């Protein structure tokens, strides 16, 4: 039979929890604003390429979606 397995958990209490929370907060912020940026880019591409509205309307749609995303998620 297998003997008792001992696991060393003495290092678990030595974790840097404030640094962990800071890193996780940064990850969530990058994920949130990255998602807003990708959605704005896709909307801008849709307006410019699929709808055939041109470059100015595409850039305007991109900026409008960025502003709406900023106001919704801040």
Q: Where are the domains of the chain?
A: 30-74
**Residue 13's pLDDT band (cuts 50, 70, 90):** low
Long-range contacts of 58-67 (CB under 8 A, 24+ apart): 65/36, 65/39, 65/40, 66/36, 66/37, 66/40
Count the neighbouring beta carbons within 10 Å of the beta carbon of residue 33: 14
Comparison of pLDDT for 67 and 11, the residue scoring more:
67
Report, as an integer, the average pLDDT of 10-38: 86
Query: What pLDDT is attached to residue 37?
Result: 96
Average pLDDT, the chain: 88
In tens, the pLDDT along 51-64 reads 888 999 999 999 99
């Amino acid at each position: 039979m297998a003997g008792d397995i001992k696991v060393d958990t003495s290092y678990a209490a030595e974790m840097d929890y404030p640094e962990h929370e800071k890193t996780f907060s940064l990850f969530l912020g990058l994920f949130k604003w990255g998602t807003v940026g990708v959605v704005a880019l896709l909307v801008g591409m849709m307006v410019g390429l699929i709808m055939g509205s041109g470059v100015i309307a595409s850039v305007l749609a991109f900026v409008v979606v960025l502003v709406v995303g900023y106001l919704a998620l801040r």
